[in-house]
Structure 1
Amino acid sequence: MDFINIAFLINTFWVAVSGVPIALLVTIVSLILAIPLAFLLAMSRIYEVPIINRLTKIYVSFVRGTPVIIQIFVLYSSIPLILAGLFEKYNINYSIYDVNPLWYALIIFTFNTAAVLTEVFRSALQTVPKGQLEAAHSVGLTTAQAYWRIVIPQSLVVALPNLCTATINLIKATSLGYAISLQEITLKAKVAANVGYNYLEAYIDIFIVYLILCMTVEYLFKRYERYLSRYKMNLQS
């Protein structure tokens, strides 16, 4: 008996690849939703907005101090209860069990990513000297204009490595979507392995697919970071 079923390994690789669009969809949409939310929460931390600042600290501590899989189970258990109550209150005739797991995944991973990016943005924004904001005010720019034109472009360069790490971690975290029956890379490969118990081959395929995905994302971020660095040098010269 062969130690590894090569034919199954090759065939299941493409099965795993078929789950890439869902993994990328969850990653991209979660980032799109989390980035503006995280920026606002980071600003509330910087300016120490009453109540919101304290709630943000609790929220970030909860996410950073608990495993992602526990967050998935807690939210996946609580969201249907909340939705069921809302459906009943507003007489919405829709079975909660018919909700596509993709929607749960988007809520869960946005919840997690926003907390991570809050600290990324907060630390990056604080690297820009306050004097630049005051100088922008002195030439007639509003606070919003100063942030958009001066503060955010500079802090983006600082935040980019951590943003890359957060994106890669989010891509890897989508592998836990199997816990809510999300048809992503891990679930598809494991289902294929159930027939002949070829789990080793399936896990190797999952490993390779995620490795390719994460290396590609890291390469793209590095290219963009080099572009921003050249742009920054041109401005300084």
Structure 2
Amino acid sequence: MELDISFMERAFPFLIKAIPVTLFITAVVLLLSFVPAFIMAEKRIGARGPGERLIKLYVSFIRGTPLVLQILLMYALLPSVLNSIVKAMGLQFDVFRGINPLWYAVIVFTLNTTALLSEVFRSAIMSVSEGQMEAGLTIGLTKFQTNVQIIIPQALTSALPNICNLTVNLIKGTSLAFFMGIKDIMAAAKIQAAYGYNYIEAYLEVFILYIIICTIVQVAYKIFEKHVGLYRTVGEEG
């Protein structure tokens, strides 16, 4: 079997143009997930009751079901729910045509990532000595100030390797967004390959692009981890 190099040369620019879509979904999802995940992690650690049990159930559901099933379920269910709400409010708005599927993808991946990220934060916060909070309160800081200035920086340092893994998995997971009609890297590859059935060549290019993107992300996290590593040293000395 010989690869169609000419097809790969023609298709490559189209795949490159789809990279911003993948990176946009990844960046927005991480930004939207960060604060809710941290709040959920704190609730799991410091509280007991219905709220803590609901968070635990939510995390278990996300971790126990395939991402592709979550995408198909939400993409089938969410537009219908929104359409019912719009009709109940008496608004003249076509949910099915008026909302870009990109935002459905952002919602689905945010729900998934928030649950996974909360577990990363929970383990990271628990790795910080309880004496750090007591020390912050002793020197006159409020609980909020102690969290922001002492606990979170140290926890973030511990969490970075797992956050890196989560980010890489999210980038790869966005390849499933083509189920919602979003033209990310995978969708662009399938569209280009369909003309001449050059699926092997198209998937090979996608394979290479994902390796390059994920490698760059891992290197960036490594550099960032070195810069924030000072907090771990300070925490251990304290």
Q: TM exceeds 0.5?
A: yes
Contact 1:105–1:177 (Cα < 8 Å) also in 2? yes
Contact 2:26–2:171 (Cα < 8 Å) also in 1? yes
Q: Distance in 2 between the 1:223 and 1:191 partners?
A: 36
One-letter amino acid matched to 1:222: K
Give the superposed CA RMSD. Answer: 1.5
- For 1:173, the equivalent position in structure 2 comes to 173
Contact 2:157–2:231 (Cα < 8 Å) also in 1? no
- 1:19 aligned counterpart, secondary structure: helix
- For 2:51, the equivalent position in structure 1 comes to 52
One-letter amino acid matched to 2:122: R
- For 1:146, the equivalent position in structure 2 comes to 146
- For 2:11, the equivalent position in structure 1 comes to 12
- For 1:83, the equivalent position in structure 2 comes to 82
Q: Shift of residue 230 of structure 1?
A: 4.6
Contact 1:13–1:206 (Cα < 8 Å) also in 2? no
Equivalences for residues 71-220 of structure 1 within 5 A: 71-98=70-97, 99-220=99-220
- Aligned identity (percent) is 41
Following TM superposition, the consecutive aligned residue runs of length 4 or more in structure 1 with deviations greater than 3 angstroms are 230-237
Structure 2, unaligned runs of 5 or more: none
Q: Distance in 1 between the 2:186 and 2:105 partners?
A: 14
One-letter amino acid matched to 1:115: A
- Residues 87-123 of structure 1 show CA distances to partners (whole Å, capped at 9, x for unaligned) of 1011221112212110101100000100010000000
Structure 1, unaligned runs of 5 or more: none
- Residues 165-194 of structure 1 show CA distances to partners (whole Å, capped at 9, x for unaligned) of 000000000000010001100001100111
Please identify, of 181-190 and 92-101, the stretch whose mean Cα deviation from structure 2 is larger.
92-101
Q: Shift of residue 219 of structure 1?
A: 0.4
Q: Distance in 2 between the 1:120 and 1:232 partners?
A: 17
Number of residue pairs aligned between Structure 1 and Structure 2:
236
Contact 1:34–1:114 (Cα < 8 Å) also in 2? yes
Q: Distance in 1 between the 2:96 and 2:83 partners?
A: 10
Q: Would you say 1:3 and 2:12 are equivalent positions? A: no
- 1:91 aligned counterpart, secondary structure: coil
What's the TM-score once normalised by structure 1's chain length? Answer: 0.96
